[in-house]
């Protein structure tokens, strides 16, 4: 009986750590995307049209992210997706946020000189 209890406690602790780690990864991704976004706003502050369009793009991306999450996990009765549902949500949100960070970083890192399709992205020299 003591062995079963010990195994169960170890399972609960590891499950708690897994959930916490995934939530932590998403929180870190949220901090990073906000940091990158704010840097872009500062670096391109004089380009009012770009800033207006970037803000629209980011609002729409948030709507896309949330819709993507709802598409993967439509509203169901409690427990439908199992006990790891919150971990799976955090994983998906982290993945989508990290993809968006890569897209946004281009405005900070720039595009190679000679790319005729760079648009509003600064050129690397």
* Domain definitions of the chain by residue range: 2-105
Whole-number pLDDT of residue 4: 58
The model carries a pTM of 0.78
Instruction: Compute CA distances 18 → 13, 24, 35, 60, whole Å.
Output: 9, 10, 26, 31
Whole-number pLDDT of residue 15: 47
Q: Cβ distance 96 to 68 under 8 Å? A: yes
Q: What is the mean pLDDT of residues 69-80?
A: 94
> 2-105 sits in which CATH class?
mainly alpha
Containing 5, the helix (H) or strand (E) segment is helix 2-43
pLDDT digits (tens, 9 = 90+) for 82-93: 999 999 999 999
Query: CA 7 to CA 85: how far, in whole Å?
Result: 22
What is the CA 114 to chain-centroid distance, rounded?
31
pLDDT digits (tens, 9 = 90+) for 22-36: 668 999 999 999 999
Residue 13 has pLDDT above 60, yes or no: no
């Amino acid at each position: 009986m003591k062995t079963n209890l010990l195994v169960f406690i170890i399972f609960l602790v590891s499950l708690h750590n897994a959930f916490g780690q995934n939530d932590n990864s998403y929180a870190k991704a949220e901090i990073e995307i906000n940091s990158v976004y704010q840097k872009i706003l500062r670096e391109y502050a004089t380009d009012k049209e770009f800033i207006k369009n970037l803000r629209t793009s980011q609002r729409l991306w948030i709507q896309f992210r949330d819709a993507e999450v709802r598409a993967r996990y439509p509203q169901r009765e409690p427990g439908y997706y199992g006990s790891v549902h919150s971990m799976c949500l955090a994983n998906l949100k982290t993945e989508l946020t990290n993809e968006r960070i890569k897209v946004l970083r281009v405005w900070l890192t720039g595009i190679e000189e000679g790319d005729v399709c760079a648009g509003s992205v600064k050129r690397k020299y």
